Amino acid sequence: MNTTPAGGTDESFIALRHLAGYGVAMNQSETGQLAEAVRLLNRTSVLVVGDVMLDRYVYGTVERISPEAPVPILAIERELAMPGGAGNVVRNLTALGSAVAFISVVGDDQAGSDLTGLIGGQPNVEPWLLVQGGRTTTLKTRLLAAGQHLLRADREETSPIQPRLAERLLRIARDAMAATSVTVLSDYRKGLLAGELPAQLIAAARESARTVIVDPKGPDHSRYAGADIIMPNRTDLAEATGMRVDGEAAIVAAATALRQRHGFGAVVVTRGNDGMTLLDASGARHFPAEAAEVYDIAGAGDTAVATLAAAVAARLELPVAVRLANIAAGVVVGKVGTAVARAADLLTALSPQGGALRKIVSREAAVEHVQRWHHKGWRVGFTHGPFDPLRPADLHWLEEAREACDRLVVGLKSPVAGATQPEAARAAMLASLASVDLVTVFAEQTPDALIAVLRPDMTVTGGGSVRAGSVVPAAS
């Protein structure tokens, strides 16, 4: 593996070396150096090969039981579709700013067509979604009400892809490897990475001097023999080795056996609430979990492997890359649904600043906060204005608005013609108020677009009047 950050200097790389193996506690210098590592991630390029699926979420309310059977009736309010499986790895890589080549197989059905549009619409992605006639594209449909799953229905085909399609996929992958730094094999056991294809892809990567990272599934890890890094979870590790994994010593023993058995360069074990363990030629390192709060574990593994891949592509040393992956996983489990960790999220998690300034967030982050609050059943209020200057009457109005809801979001209008204070100062003053829970900036003439994506339960106008909005379930 290469050891100098792409686009960086040898000096910056040397400064990052000593971060290897650090736990949660860091001093300001260490935090700054790890933050610099985050800023290298958007200069990377990664190839992802794996099983793609369509995740469909159906949100609604339940107010009665069916007279036909003892089951709830979901009154559907809205639907959301997004790429899942290896497609979620791609989402996380683009969220970090990486350029991605993505190779997968879909069927000639509506779900396959939807996935083609969703993947192709992402920034910095070169998609190669090959179509197999008659194949069923994997579709997972989740029905939710009040933030709770009522039912999940799956439609899928797990048989191996056609041999000719596998040959074409391998040819495309060889070309894509020449244009990218790292290859990720994301195996969800839906038939793409079956038979000899994983071994052929790993051999092709070796010929191209490219690092291969595998997110494995199933008990047979011999299919990935020779990979540079394999990233099993605790259950995968137990199945693959037949050994106990009920403690750090047991995990190290099992990871050692797995590494030696199949010639892996390194094994990174994701351990849920216990963090991650890295085992390579230099020994074992444990990284405690870094999540402040856990709302939803969906997609955390995809986030971890994507962040690890971007960090390795940036030529950071492996312990630093694992540390970033661990932080990213901690970020997404604090969000609702299959979420992503952006570079800004990682920098926020690393920030030594606390309190008020963390209330100032981007529009995307504000949406995620509101979804999280809705998931907990809290009523969210919204108000807006230029607040230039912030007057005593504004303070009274904001306090009244906060009393009418559980959490208050303030939309700060900027720019403002003839403003007496810069945007940053106005945002900081609002964030310092106990009555304000979140501040986000909008540049439009009206806040309508911001309100449309936030979907608050109520809006409060400058005159203090309250307009109720529709109460919405938490979104993914």
- Return the active site residues: 302
For Cα atoms 431, 427, 328, give the angle at the middle one, nearest 5 degrees. 70
CA dihedral of 4, 8, 10, 16, whole degrees rounded to 10: -80
For the CA atoms of the chain, what is the radius of gyration? Answer: 24
Instruction: Specify the residue for token string 């920030």.
Output: 351
Q: Which residues, at least 6 apart from 444, have a Cβ–Cβ distance to it below 8 Å? A: 450
The 380-385 sheet, strands edge to edge: 438-442, 407-413, 380-385, 458-460, 466-468
The secondary structure element, H or E, covering residue 365 is: helix 363-375
> Phi and psi at residue 107, in whole multiples of 5°?
-90, 170
The secondary structure element, H or E, covering residue 119 is: helix 110-120
Contact 112, 86 (CB under 8 A): no
| Inter-helix orientation angle 300-313/318-332, to 10° | 150
Q: How far is CA 82 from CA 103, 127, 235, 364, 461, in A?
A: 17, 15, 26, 16, 35
CA dihedral of 117, 121, 122, 128, whole degrees rounded to 10: 50
| Inter-helix orientation angle 28-38/10-17, to 10° | 130
Q: How far is CA 91 from the centre of its chain?
A: 7
